[in-house]
């Protein structure tokens, strides 16, 4: 039996696009002599469809698309993913399903049993879990078909009380196939290899695993589909962050012609870089946009975002706006211009000194003789937001937010100012990682000026301002934030790691108090195991 794994980039709710590319893949696989083509979880509609699943018409279109795919599936079989209706009155109205299609007909339906309901996942909101599983007979083989999370209950602290493969293994299958929508995080590839390999070792079966690739607003899928032997050794690993179709000969209980191999793993920063490029590109393409705008300060955050956008969209589609104030230094303007010249992107120089002064004069009767403080600082930031949004409205640019995760965590940013934007590129990237990203971007030549990397970070909203006037050094801040956000440690546990108690409590208080700001930020491209946004739900008015 020749199996094709189709690792494709789907578009949520775009049935015409998804169906067409799946049919093309089937036709290509047929010409290559494949017997079976395997697509990803919810491939028909895209993942995650969220509350679109509550619309009857959406579910009807899924079934119509599935039947179109079935008509194209003659002389070959395929496995597709889609939501289907639950015929029982009791329970949720839908299943997260896989269709096994052969000779133009749906020959079998497998429903997902383990429904993740943590972090970015919310499947139990929509789907009923399956209580039974059966193998699929095809070409003289018994296939144990599962859907994503159904294979993720093999660790020492299982999240679920059932294990679908336990039931399927009683039918003595010849191989496992798992269709998935497994989101990217920079540490997730190694975890994925371990969990899937553990299933192979436990059931002494080879595994064909297909993931999807592409970004849907915040969530990025990295691909990396896999083939394992019965010992849990990796036989093949498909590309990350790009579409691919590969073919495998399966005979007996083994994949022919492949020996175990170990892929050289990309570093975290390499993975983050590739994920952000994909996230930007898909956000624009799938939304029908082409041109980006951002404020370019000469600092490292906006420089990295500008460089990423130029790579993702082409420098001709990126507008960098330099908006110096009376506190901006000459070297910041030079650093910004050096970057523009290195990238060859578009730019405008629009000073905001006059605008900020006008606001100061307008508010002077109300402010009276109160001293200069954060109010005047934020007026500068909001003046810049007015400028870039005006250009966005006039010329159709989409604003990229340039705030990093460290700033977003502690509220070091201005609502309706530098926190504005349609999509946040670095909102899940700590400041220390931003520096690493900059050096990675400069791996072949200097793109980001060295001075933007080495100079002390500053918002330049008052004379001589430095980030360290308000925050500890980023090396310390980011470690505390990581323990609190990603590892979910409490203050006492973090203090026990050797951090200064007063600083830990101050930082955690800043994180908690800034929750109201994060509720008003743009969607954040998720690259870590715990990103702000849909994967981290905290009360605004809670006290902890």
Tell me the catalytic residues.
41, 112, 148
CB 109 within 8 A of CB 84: yes
CB 198 within 8 A of CB 184: no
pLDDT score at 461: 63
Q: Which two tokens stand for residue 184?
A: 């990217």
SS3 string, 250-288, reads EECCEECCCCCCCCCCCCHHHHHHHHHHHHHHHHHHHHC
39-74 per-position pLDDT tens digit: 999 999 999 999 999 999 999 999 999 999 999 999
Residue 446 pLDDT greater than 80, yes or no: yes
pLDDT score at 3: 98
pLDDT score at 360: 93
69-93 per-position pLDDT tens digit: 999 999 999 999 999 999 999 999 9
Q: 454 Cβ partners below 8 Å, 6+ apart?
A: none
447-486 per-position pLDDT tens digit: 999 999 998 777 666 676 677 777 899 999 999 999 999 9
Residue 253 pLDDT greater than 90, yes or no: no
Separation of alpha carbons 153 and 114, rounded Å: 9
List beta partners, residue 79. Answer: 38, 100
CATH T-level topology, domain 271-466+514-518 = Rossmann fold (3.40.50)
Burial (Cβ within 10 Å: 0-12, 13-18, ≥19) of residue 520:
exposed
**Average pLDDT taken over every residue of the chain:** 95
Separation of alpha carbons 45 and 79, rounded Å: 14
* More confidently predicted of 265 and 234: 234
Domain 2-265 has CATH 3.60.110.10: yes
Residue 413 pLDDT greater than 80, yes or no: yes
Domain residue ranges of the chain, discontinuous segments joined by +: 2-265, 271-466+514-518
Q: Which two tokens stand for residue 401?
A: 């937010």
Residue 184 pLDDT greater than 90, yes or no: yes
What share of the chain in percent tops pLDDT 90?
A: 89
What are the distances in angstroms from CA 58 to CA 14, 44, 111? Answer: 10, 11, 19
Length of the chain equals: 544
* CB count in 10 Å sphere of residue 251: 12
Residue 154 pLDDT greater than 90, yes or no: no
496-539 per-position pLDDT tens digit: 999 999 999 999 999 999 999 999 999 999 999 999 999 999 99
Mean pLDDT for the stretch of residues 5-12: 98
What share of the chain in percent tops pLDDT 70?
A: 99
Separation of alpha carbons 338 and 445, rounded Å: 13
Closest C-alpha among 412, 423, 427, 385 to residue 522: 423
313-334 per-position pLDDT tens digit: 999 999 999 999 887 677 889 9
Task: Map residue 376 onto helix, strand or coil.
Answer: helix
Residue 262 pLDDT greater than 90, yes or no: no
Separation of alpha carbons 345 and 318, rounded Å: 6
pLDDT band at 189 (very low <50, low <70, confident <90, very high): very high
Closest C-alpha among 295, 200, 185 to residue 240: 185
Per CATH, 2-265 and 271-466+514-518 having the same topology is answered no
337-374 per-position pLDDT tens digit: 999 999 999 999 999 999 999 999 999 999 998 999 99
Strands (E), 299-440: 318-322, 346-349, 398-401, 423-424
Q: 63 Cβ partners below 8 Å, 6+ apart?
A: 82, 84
pLDDT score at 541: 87
Mean pLDDT for the stretch of residues 302-314: 98
What are the distances in angstroms from CA 356 to CA 169, 326, 415? Answer: 70, 9, 17
220-230 per-position pLDDT tens digit: 999 999 999 99
Closest C-alpha among 237, 244, 240, 284 to residue 261: 237
């Amino acid at each position: 039996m020749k199996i094709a794994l189709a690792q494709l980039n789907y578009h949520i709710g775009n049935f015409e696009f998804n169906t067409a590319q799946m049919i093309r893949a089937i036709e290509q696989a047929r010409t290559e002599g494949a017997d079976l083509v395997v697509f990803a979880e919810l491939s028909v509609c895209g993942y995650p469809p969220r509350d679109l699943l509550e619309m009857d018409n959406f579910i009807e279109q899924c079934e119509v698309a599935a039947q179109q795919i079935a008509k194209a599936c003659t002389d070959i079989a395929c496995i597709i993913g889609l939501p289907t209706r639950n015929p029982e009155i009791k329970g949720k109205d839908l299943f997260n399903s896989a269709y096994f299609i052969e000779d133009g007909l749906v020959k079998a339906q497998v429903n997902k049993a383990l429904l993740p309901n943590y972090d970015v996942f919310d499947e139990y909101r929509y789907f009923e879990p399956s209580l039974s599983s059966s193998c699929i007979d095809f070409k003289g083989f018994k296939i144990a078909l599962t859907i994503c999370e159904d294979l993720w209950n093999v660790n020492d602290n299982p999240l679920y009380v059932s294990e679908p493969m336990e039931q399927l293994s009683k039918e003595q299958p010849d191989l496992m196939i798992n269709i998935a929508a497994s989101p990217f995080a920079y540490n997730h590839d190694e975890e994925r290899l371990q969990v899937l390999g553990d299933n192979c070792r436990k059931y002494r079966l080879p595994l064909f695993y297909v993931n999807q690739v592409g970004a849907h607003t915040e969530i990025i899928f990295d691909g990396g589909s896999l083939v394992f032997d019965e010992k849990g050794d990796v036989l093949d690993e498909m590309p990350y962050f790009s579409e691919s179709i590969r073919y495998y000969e399966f005979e007996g209980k083994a994949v022919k012609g492949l020996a175990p191999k170990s892929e050289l793993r990309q570093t975290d920063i390499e993975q983050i870089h590739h994920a952000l490029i994909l996230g930007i590109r898909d956000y624009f393409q799938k939304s029908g946009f082409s041109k980006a705008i951002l404020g370019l300060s000469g600092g490292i955050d906006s420089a990295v975002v500008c460089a990423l956008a130029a790579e993702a969209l082409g420098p001709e589609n990126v507008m960098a706006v330099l908006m110096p104030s009376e506190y901006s230094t000459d070297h910041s303007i030079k650093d910004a211009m050096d970057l523009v010249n290195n990238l060859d992107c578009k730019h405008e120089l629009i000073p905001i000194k006059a605008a900020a002064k006008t606001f100061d004069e307008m508010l002077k009767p109300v402010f009276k003789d109160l001293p200069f403080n954060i109010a005047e600082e934020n007026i500068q930031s909001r003046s810049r937001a007015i400028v870039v949004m005006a250009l966005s409205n006039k010329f159709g640019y989409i604003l990229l937010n340039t705030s990093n995760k460290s700033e977003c965590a502690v509220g070091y940013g201005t609502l309706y100012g530098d926190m504005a934007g349609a999509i946040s590129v670095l909102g899940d990237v700590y400041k220390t990682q931003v520096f690493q990203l900059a050096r990675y971007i400069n791996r072949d030549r200097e793109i980001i000026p060295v001075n933007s990397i080495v100079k002390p970070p500053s918002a330049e909203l008052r004379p001589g301002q430095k980030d360290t006037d308000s925050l500890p050094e980023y090396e310390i801040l980011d470690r505390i934030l990581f323990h609190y956000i990603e590892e979910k440690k409490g203050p006492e546990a973090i203090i026990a790691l050797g951090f200064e108690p007063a600083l830990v409590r101050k930082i955690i208080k800043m994180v908690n108090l800034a929750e109201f700001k994060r509720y008003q930020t743009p969607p954040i491209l998720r690259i870590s195991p715990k990103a702000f946004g849909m994967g981290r739900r905290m009360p605004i008015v809670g006290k902890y």
